[in-house]
Amino acid sequence: MALVCITVSAQRISGSSSYKDLKDYYSAKNYVKTSSDPYSVFWTGFESLVTPGVGHLLMKETGRGWAFIGGEVAISMVGQIAANSLMAQVQLKDGEIVKDENGAIVFADVNKAKSAVGIMLGAAFLDAALRVWCCIDGVKVAKVKNQYYRDLYGKHAFNTSVYPSVNMVSDGSKVVPAAGMTFALNF
């Protein structure tokens, strides 16, 4: 037990709880969920997927959070500019959208309209990729920070208990109950 305490205290990082400083000491791959974790890995990932950057801000990773928010805003602006460009190419007559004989919308410049649609699709793809990246990163950061706080506050992913038990023991000819104590170590 003393060896475990010495090993755990040797892993503490003094003065910083930022992911940038902690990632060299803790691995998200070694994470085991406990009830004492301050950050929910699932909800952090979900928040990061729905609104990129929010999960990071809640974990006090402001630089990462604002970077993801900035990326989301930039991609949204590019998509909106492309949508406005597409709408500017739509031909109107007396306030109504002009359609051809097949019912398709008529554009003033088809090449500009195709370019705008391509940019909108690219922005949609980038937005999806950013959300997935943010979700994966948020989960990774939550796991590492949870490990750090476990070490910092002495709450680890194991517990011990001692309790009385009765076991059945064979003495060669018959089976008899034997009272005793059980030491349990749960990881």
pTM of the model as a whole: 0.69
CA distance 135 to 128: 11
Alpha-carbon separation of residue 82 from 88, 119, 168 (angstroms): 10, 6, 77
Residues 6+ apart with CB under 8 A from 111: none
Rounded to the nearest 5 degrees, what angle is found at the Cα of 69, between the Cα atoms of 68 and 73?
120
Average pLDDT for consecutive 10-residue bins of the chain (187 residues)? 39 63 88 86 93 93 95 96 92 85 87 94 97 96 91 70 85 84 76
